Structure 1
Amino acid sequence: MSQTVSVTQQLVSAPLPQIIERLGIAVADAQRALDENSVRTAAEMATAAVEIGDESYNLLALGFTPTFYAFTEATVEAKLSFSISETTEFGVSAGASVGVNVGVVMVAATVNVSYARKFSVSAEGTSSIAARLVSLPVPEQLEKILRKLSENPPVPAPPTA
């Protein structure tokens, strides 16, 4: 039975704190990457020129803004099911025979004993990680800078030969 107890202890002692820590770090890294992407997009919008008639506008001057995203929730789910069974079988069978032959009596006896102890352990596990993203408005300070930039777009430097 000590083998069964060992398996049970291993199944119950899943590294839940490490799983939660890794999820938190992964969400923080992903959020940073999303923010960096939105800032790069804003810079690209400020330099992308669109010709309308005889005028040239950048995308910010036309009212476009980069999209920002944020994680609103992240869930880690782990399900584990296991079953442990132990069976013991014990069997005894006996037989006897008596034979008489001209004054001689013969007696024979047979005994069969069997013993079996069986352990069975099965485990199944599933896990999933889910995250929810939402679109956010442009941060207020960035929006002020973008509006100011769109009013006075930077003049690109002439190409050097």
Structure 2
Amino acid sequence: MGAIATITNSITNAPLHQMIEQMGISVANAQAALDENSIKTLKALAEKGVEINGETTNLLLLGFVPTFYAFTEASFEMKMEFSMAESEAFSVGASVEADFGIVAASVSASYSRKFDQSASGSSSIAARMVSLPPPENLLEKLKTIKPEL
């Protein structure tokens, strides 16, 4: 099977709905990992004791909060380019020579047929992530512990 047929077959049989589904699941898994990381950071800030003027407090009560991230968009793009060319050439030539009663004739013919094909494909996945402020409920809870936050 030629390159063009192989790529065309792959594209036309591509399970696009599965690709989109997998991208969505991947983004959801990545978001869950980001959230889990923010929770770990929150716990670390709460456990980290700092002494200031003889008083020990944790970083959370000093106003440090973890950074939260969210995916705002994700895109999947697939491109395919292919070209095919065919050329055909036919030529006939003849010559006659006469020399002292001898006649010679020659005939030549040529035929050529050329095929050229090229194919290329590419795909890309892009995701955009932004940082968000801590959840409002977390800030409200922290304010009940230390009102000046």
Structure 1-normalised TM-score?
A: 0.72
Of 108, 117, 136, the residue aligned with 2:132 is 136
1:114 alignment partner in structure 2: 110
Q: Which whole-Å CA distance do the structure 2 matches of 1:67 and 1:79 have between them?
A: 36
d(CA) in 2 for partners of 1:59 and 1:28?
Answer: 30
Residue 9 (str. 1) matches residue 8 (str. 2): yes
Q: What corresponds to 2:74 in structure 1?
A: 74
What aligned pairs does 1:57-96 form with structure 2 within 5 A after superposition? 57-96=57-96
Identity %: 48
TM-aligned CA distance change 1:5 to 1:123, over 3 Å: closer
1:66 match: secondary structure: coil
TM-aligned CA distance change 1:51 to 1:65, over 3 Å: same
Q: Distance in 1 between matches of 2:125 and 2:66?
A: 28
Other structure's SS at 2:93 match: strand
Q: Which residue of 2 aligns with 1:43?
A: 43
Gaps of 5+ in 1: 152-161
Flag the 1:76–1:125 CA change in 2: closer, same or farther, 3 A. Answer: same
Give the TM-score normalised by the residue count of structure 2.
Answer: 0.77
In 2, the alpha carbon distance for the partners of 1:9 and 1:127 equals 14
Structure 2 vs 1, CA of residues 108 and 117 (structure 1 numbering), >3 Å: closer, same or farther?
Answer: same
Number of residue pairs aligned between Structure 1 and Structure 2: 145
- Asked whether the equivalents of residues 82 and 121 of structure 1 are also in contact (C-alpha less than 8 Å), the reply is yes
> Deviation digits for residues 90-122 of structure 1, max 9, x if unmatched?
111122345664xxxx55432222111111112
- C-alpha distance 28-16 of structure 1, shift in aligned 2 (>3 A): same
Contact 1:49–1:56, Cα closer than 8 Å, also in 2 = yes
